Amino acid sequence: MWKILVNDGMESEGVLALQSLGFKVDCNNIPQNELNEKLPFYDGIIVRSATKVRTELIDACPDLKFIARGGVGMDNIDVEYARQKGIEVINTPAASSRSVAELAMAHMLCCSRGLHISNRELQNKDSFASLKKQFASLCEIKSKTLFLIGFGRIGKELAKMAIGSEMKVVVYDPFISNPVVDFEFNGNQLSVSLPQVELADGFSIADYISIHTPFVGQPILTKSEFEQMKQGVIIINTSRGENINESDLLDAIEAGKVMFAGLDVYQDEPNISSNIISHRLISKSPHIGASTQEAQARIALELVEKIDNYYNSK
């Protein structure tokens, strides 16, 4: 049976399931600078976002069978190069969708009512009165327009929540011709078709913009895009930090074009810009979109199933 290195941690259910199938599992973290020397003694590696599996490491492991990523994005893996070398690359695109979408909605609600500011600045009766007056101008999300950039699993989950909150939802996704959200409750099923728009049109009407796409080599939101948006828009990003030019975002906030931003991802993690960290109009979380008990359990079991299926196909 294969010997597997779990280098960034894994839920105990997944480790036990792998072991029950006969795999040898090592959960001792190996530092990045030692992987070239030690990974060749394993048949496969399971990572999350911390460990990088680049060409040099792949070349050092000619007998590696698979690289598995617990999560959706695989920016930390040179995927195509690994596949050219005959290495299977596995991820878990479905397992964390709900958790990430819930976090995006949490940032939307947080920004809508200024909770990220209240949590930091509410200290005494003076700040109580000041914040109460300041936030009287904020609003509900009902009847507001949410523009989803990307309509994969996470985008669809967020659309469900937004529709349930009586928001208007529009979509941009060049890979989908008919964006549809499927609801199921009490044995009843309902499908809702959503309007699809071009980026410029979405920017011009959106009260909220939430990004749900992989990073494709250049930011989606830069100065040019911010200039096309409505005054007072709220930006949410739980996808990839590189999808937003952070300097341009800060400029748009200072100019009043962007009222608030909710960020779970950053251009340079974990070395986040001090201007982002300290900004009172940005709601921040430490890349925790998939960090729920439910998502981690689903991720682990989905990985186990895919690894076992690949082993049995060999």
Is 116 a known active-site residue?
A: no
Is 13 a known active-site residue?
A: no
Which residue in 113, 153, 287, 305 is the catalytic one?
Answer: 287
Contacts of 209 (CB under 8 A, 6+ apart): 146, 147, 149, 202, 203, 221, 229, 233, 234, 235, 236
Which residue in 48, 98, 212, 240 is the catalytic one?
Answer: 240
Which residue in 56, 140, 269, 294 is the catalytic one?
Answer: 269
Catalytic residue numbers read: 240, 269, 287
